[in-house]
A and B are shown apart, each in its own frame.
Chain A
Amino acid sequence: MSNLLIKEFSFILVYLLVGLGFAVTPIVISYLIGPVSRGPKRDEVYECGVETIGTAWVQFGITYYLFALMFLAFDVDVLYLFPVVVAFGKDFVIRDFIEIVIFLGILSLAIVYAWRKGVFDWTMK
Chain B
Amino acid sequence: MADLYQKLVMLLGDDLTVLILGIVLTLGFIQFNSLFLIWLERKVAGHMQLRLGPMEVGPHGIIQTIADGIKLVGKQLITPRYVDKWLFMLAPVIVLMPVPLAFLVLPVHPGVVVLDMNVGILLIFGFSTLNVLTILMAGWGSHNKYSLLGAIRAVAQNIAYESPLLVTVITAVLWARSLNMSAIVDAQDKIWFVFTPWGALAFLIFLISATAETNRAPFDLPEAESELVAGFHTEYSGMRFAMFFLAEYTNMFIVSAVGVTLFLGGWRGPILPGFIWFLLKSYVLVFMFLWFRWTFPRVRFDQLLGFAWKVLLPIALVNLVVTGGAIKLIDLIR
Contact = CB atoms under 8 A, between A and B. Distances in A.
Chains A, B in direct contact (C-beta < 8 Å)? yes
Interface of A: 7-8, 11-12, 14-16, 18-20, 22-24, 26-27, 29-31, 33-37, 42-48, 55-58, 60, 64, 67-68, 70-71, 74-75, 78, 81-82, 85-86, 88-90, 94, 97, 100-101, 104, 107-108, 111, 114-115, 120-122, 124
Interface of B: 15, 19, 23, 26-27, 30, 72-82, 92-101, 104, 114-115, 117, 122-123, 140, 142-148, 152, 155-156, 159-160, 162-163, 166-167, 170, 173-174, 177-179, 229, 234-235, 238-240, 242-243, 301-302, 305-306, 309-310, 313-314, 317, 320-321, 324-325, 327-328, 331
A24 B93 contact: yes
B144 A16 contact: no
B173 A122 contact: no
Specify the main secondary structure of chain A where it touches its partner: helix
A81 B94 CA distance: 29
Specify the main secondary structure of chain B where it touches its partner: helix
B323 to A, nearest CB: 9
Q: Which 6 A-B pairs have the closest CB atoms?
A: A122-B302, A23-B96, A30-B239, A71-B159, A43-B81, A85-B174
A25 B23 CA distance: 16
B162 A30 contact: no
A47 B174 CA distance: 49
A82 B170 contact: yes
Interface centre among B74, B117, B145, B331 (most CB of A within 10 A): B145
Given A34-B76, A97-B325, A120 B163 contact: no
